[in-house]
Amino acid sequence: MSDGTERIMHTTKTPFINGLDGNIDILGVSIDITENQHLKKQLLTKNTELDSFLYRTSHDLIAPLCSLEGIFELIKREPDTVMRDTLNTHAKTSIVRLKSLITDINYYSENNRATIKSDLIDFSSVVSEAIKRIHGEPNLELVRIETSYHIKKPYFGDADRLQVMFRN
């Protein structure tokens, strides 16, 4: 183009006989497809990201299901009621992990479509909400959570996205 930008053109050429002098001429038509090509490239990138996300997610979903499958098989064969209770507790833990993962996947999907907010962040409420949401996670009783806030200036951002970051 005259301004120096590169364009991608689709050109079609067709021979035709000139009715005036009988010569064979060529008719050419060009269509600018630059924007379509850029959109196609973006779509391919998004598809690659989606494939990667689905691959990771499927493995993350299969792990607790395989664990449950094994636990249920052990429960069927276990004569000791105390051991069966222990196995049931492990099964419940796997179910909690699976539910949490599915909730996170749903939130991730919603979050990617949502516009980023920029509000004044109350870190105390964001962190306490994140802690409430991880309640029931396996071995959480082994973790000591301490919070301390030394915020000198107001912080603006997206509280929902911060909660996801703290939970993960």
More confident position, 168 or 115: 115
Number of residues in the chain: 168
d(CA 93, CA 85): 12
Residues 48-102 have pLDDT tens digits of 988 888 888 888 888 888 889 999 999 999 899 899 999 998 898 888 888 888 8
User: How far apart, in whole angstroms, are the C-alpha atoms of residue 77 and residue 87?
Assistant: 11
| pLDDT tens per residue, range 14-58 | 888 887 888 888 888 989 999 999 999 999 999 998 888 888 888
CB contact at 8 A, 61 and 101: yes
Residue 2: what pLDDT? Answer: 67
CA distance 127 to 119: 16
Q: Tell me the C-alpha distance between 52 and 166, whole Å.
A: 23
pTM as predicted: 0.50
